[in-house]
Amino acid sequence: MKINIFFTRRAESSKWITLFSSVFISGLLFSSLSYADPELKSEKKLDELIEQALEATPNLEQGHAIYTSCAVCHSPEAWGTPDGHFPQIAGQHKSVIIKQLVDIHKGNRDNPTMFPFTAPLFMLGPQALADLSAYVNQLPMVPNNSVGYGGQLAEGKKLYDDNCEQCHEANGEGKADEFYPRIQGQHYRYLERQLHWIKSGKRRNADEKMVKQIQKFDYRQLELLADYVSRLRPDKSLLADHLDWKNPDFRAGFFIAPRN
């Protein structure tokens, strides 16, 4: 509970985030590595990196060690925040996590807070990406993600079934092989923001076919879609078995009172 209170407060104050992350980033950047290799920005190198990361055998312990730098924002459980400022990433397909990290690193997603965290990661190479993505993927998902207003779910369902199901699957589970994200169980506000950003072109990495579809929807239709998708339930086996599950890999009070 302590952690949640802390997160809520922090999410309200972006100044806090900037301050906190800049301190953290400098530590991260200068602890092990000098600076991002400009060559890594080339499309071919990044594609190779994704491929190698997907083939590598992951080490979850290493994955956890790297994930501690992400937990600052995404929370130790990787459940994000209910206001959708930070998305849930627990349970996401490994391929999607790796692809999103690459895209954020390339500057294809407007994510200035997270961008600096990707530089050291990419210097560590494909094994680190494999370890990290496998770690996040196996974390249980939040059982009660935030949802929309639930007003016009039938209309939302029709829009979803006609347009989105072909890639994200009937229940929003996505497709790992195709890099289609799992969108079920995601926080409503995050989904809403992404749909608007995909429509306006602010999220530049989005699938072209999807962008064309989403552009033809008006504001209200995007709200209905976000509402419907936020209510798509992940399979029970993917969810934490109780609401106040805490990630045992982190000691209690991880954020508030680090002891090292």
Give contact residues for ligand HEC (rule: CB under 6 A).
21, 69-70, 72-74, 86-87, 89, 97, 99-101, 103, 109, 111, 113-114, 117, 121, 132, 163-164, 166-168, 179-181, 183, 191, 193-195, 205-207, 209-210, 213-214, 225, 229
Distance in Å, CB of 50 to ligand HEC, minimum: 11
The token duo for 77 is 């459980």
Nearer to ligand HEC, 44 or 242 (CB): 44
Nearer to ligand HEC, 41 or 202 (CB): 202
Distance in Å, CB of 74 to ligand HEC, minimum: 6
Q: How far is CA 30 from CA 43, 88, 114, 120, 122, in A?
A: 26, 28, 16, 9, 14
- At residue 141, what are phi and psi to the nearest 5 degrees? -85, 160
Distance in Å, CB of 21 to ligand HEC, minimum: 4
Give the C-alpha separation, 74 to 234, whole Å. Answer: 19
Nearer to ligand HEC, 2 or 158 (CB): 158
Nearer to ligand HEC, 203 or 242 (CB): 203
Nearer to ligand HEC, 49 or 183 (CB): 183
Distance in Å, CB of 222 to ligand HEC, minimum: 8
Q: Per residue in 92-116, is it b (16+ CB within 10 Å) or e — as a string?
A: bbbbbbbbbbbbbbbeebeeebbeb
Distance in Å, CB of 53 to ligand HEC, minimum: 12
Q: Report the largest interatomic distance among the alpha carbons of the chain, rounded to a whole angstrom.
A: 53
Q: Per residue in 189-204, is it b (16+ CB within 10 Å) or e — as a string?
A: bbbbbbbbbbbeeebe
